[in-house]
Amino acid sequence: MTIQEVLAVVRTHLFGSVWDPLARGAWCRRQRRHLRVPGHAVVWVRGDAVPWAEWGARRGYFEVQRMGTLPYLSALGAPVA
Q: What are the residue boundaries of the structural domains of the chain, listed by start? A: 3-74
> Can you give the pLDDT of all 81 residues of the chain as single tens digits?
899 888 878 777 766 655 577 888 999 999 999 999 988 899 999 988 899 999 999 999 999 999 999 999 999 876 555
From the CB of residue 35, how many other CB atoms can be counted at a distance below 10 Å? 19
Contact residues for 71 (Cβ-Cβ < 8 A; gap 6+):
44, 45, 46, 50, 53, 64, 65
- How do residues 40-57 score in pLDDT, each as one tens digit? 899 999 988 899 999 999
